[in-house]
Structure 1
Amino acid sequence: MAAVAAWAASTAFSVGDIRRATTSQDSGLWFRCTTAGTSASSEPKWPTDIGSTLTDNTVVWTAISSVYGDVSVLAPSAIIELFELHLDSTLHGSSDVYRFHSGTNADVTGNIIFDSNAYSRFPVQADGFEMQSSGTLPQPTLTLANLDGTMTTLLALVNATTAGNDLTGATVKRIRTLKRYLDGEST
């Protein structure tokens, strides 16, 4: 984990500076300066939810995950994106879960295991994921290749069961983790 300096009183901070509380917190969060300024003379009561903000004299801090430390010292290719497609039995005639990953990060060339679940390597492109604290919700898109007719087969099964021809109502779950947290990887 990257070393992150503790918050300091009456100190000038720039946008992007990362600090931790001076004492251990159960939340394990770190805090990113999102409005530059000078900190107060006493430490603030830090928020406990990711994305929460607080004003510390003239500085505004936003709570971020401490995993930021792992990511900040690793190459971006060490981040693995996993996807799960959950069918709804009332809509699709099945409650099957399909798990896959694009296999483009961290030199992953085959199927992987995460949290005891197998994720197949499958060409996928995901765009439009963003984190906002206000405004409209993002509308991400997921594009899957029809490699070896896999998607055609899945749609045919759904259509045969429910007389529908799409995956409307299915739930897609995106998981972002680090390669080192995959089952069988060393930490």
Structure 2
Amino acid sequence: MGEETKRNVRLVSAPEPISTKKLQDEIISLEPSTVLEMFELELGRFSGKSFRFHPGTVFKGNLVFDEKVYHALPIEVDQFEVKGDGSLPRPHLRVSNVDGVISNIMEGYDDFVGLKIKRIRTFLKFIDSKNFRHEENPFGAPDPTARFPDDIYVINQKVAENKNLVEFELVSPLEMDTVKLPGRQIISNYCTWVYRGNGCHYGNSFVRPPKKFFPSDSLQARGDPIADEKDKEFVSTKGYGFSTEGNATWQDDFTTPFVDSGIYNRTGVYSSGDYVRIGSAESQEVTMFFVAKPTGYAVTSDGGSDFFNISGSDPRIDTENWVRDQCSKTLSGCMLRFGSCNAGLPFGGFPGTDRFKF
């Protein structure tokens, strides 16, 4: 009885086969229903989760198929056609990038390069009843097995990125022309890790706990913003000149405090020296930090000192009033953050491969 139960469990959890008979009947039908196209992006090595979406041309909202929700997303795909010369297709996927939403999502995922994306197609009559009023499909009987064979592709590269769209080139897993071995490119003086992401882990207290830093309550130990992309430090007289002392800008006429203002709020009021967090829309691994520059509107406090007020400006766009905490991807940038850590530098380059003169 126990073995039979286990066998039944395996049968239930196993993927259902594709019903080619129903598919063929619908294809040769005199009045076939509309073909729907869906996509599933597997985040793989980053989180193990999947992001499902569809163009939203037939259904304006979310689409449910096989009890999985596919979000409506303004996308355009083409070049899926198979040529007669034997070459494999290289489809292109274009996604709307209004307000930099997709650019923000890609921040922690290496531009999605190397991730697997699945193209799923079926007829309207076979989608779940939940998509219709009264939960009844008026076009036919729902059947998740009645679909075209899934097309599996890998995102090969980001072709274009601007304020309007992001375009990707997809390739078949069988096409190995662009695969590089080893997987990491050997560069002597440049770190290939994603800042605060995989490999770097700056600010990740689980990988590098504060006790590994000296002192254990320093900016580096807490993972606070350190410098911009040119190694110009925030808390330094040679850099932006902010100070960790004081908790209000008008308390000191000579220094501007460096204050953690938490998650960015577009209706909040920020002054120079405040730094905020903005997380990726999809990634919980990478958090972006932005520091308010000593610019903006001069405001006089009750104490009589002037400070600068920045409000209503998105740090991701307003580079005049905000500066992003970024690593220069050099050894000096790595030293600024991990120089006081007894676990060594997580530098992603290979300094030993550089040429030396004796």
Task: Provide TM-score, normalisation by structure 1.
Answer: 0.53
Hey, what does 1:99 align to over in structure 2? 52
Shift of 1:135: 0.8
Question: Structure 1 CA distance, aligned partners of 2:86 and 2:41?
Answer: 27
Superposed, 1:9-48 pairs within 5 Å as none
Match of 1:175 in 2: 120
Q: Against the structure 1 CA distance between its residues 77 and 70, is the aligned structure 2 distance closer, same or farther, given a 3 Å change threshold?
A: closer
What does the per-residue CA deviation read over 1:129-176, in whole Å, with 9 as the maximum and x for residues that have no partner? 124676111111111112454312311232xxxxx3x11111110001
The reply on whether 1:138 has 2:89 as its aligned counterpart is: yes
Contact 2:33 2:125 (8 Å CA) reproduced? no
Higher relative contact order at CA 8 Å, sep ≥6: structure 1 or structure 2?
1
Residues of 2 paired with 1:154 and 1:143: CA distance?
15
How far did 1:116 drift?
1.1
C-alpha distance in 2 between matches for 1:76 and 1:123: 25
Determine if contact 2:26/2:32 at 8 Å carries over to the other structure.
no
Gaps of 5+ in 2: 1-17, 130-136, 142-358
Structure 1 residues 118 and 72: CA distance shift in structure 2, 3 A: same
Q: In the TM superposition, what is the alpha-carbon distance from 1:182 to its structure 2 partner? A: 1.2
Relative to structure 1, is the Cα distance of residues 137 and 99 closer, same or farther in structure 2, using a 3 angstrom cutoff? Answer: same
Decide whether aligned partners of structure 1 residues 146 and 94 sit closer, same or farther in structure 2, where only a CA change above 3 A counts: same
Decide whether aligned partners of structure 1 residues 79 and 156 sit closer, same or farther in structure 2, where only a CA change above 3 A counts: same
Change (3 A) 1:72 1:99: same
- Report the RMSD for the aligned CA atoms in angstroms: 2.8
Query: Aligned with 2:77: secondary structure?
Result: strand
What SS class does the counterpart of residue 73 from structure 1 fall into? coil
Query: Given that residues 122 and 147 in structure 1 are in contact (C-alpha distance below 8 angstroms), is that contact kept between their aligned partners in structure 2?
Result: no
TM-score if structure 2 supplies the norm length? 0.29
Report the counterpart of residue 126 of structure 1 in structure 2: 77
Percent identical across equivalent pairs? 34
Partner of residue 36, structure 2: 80
Q: Greater Rg, structure 1 or structure 2? A: 2
Inter-partner Cα distance in structure 2 for 1:131 and 1:66 = 24
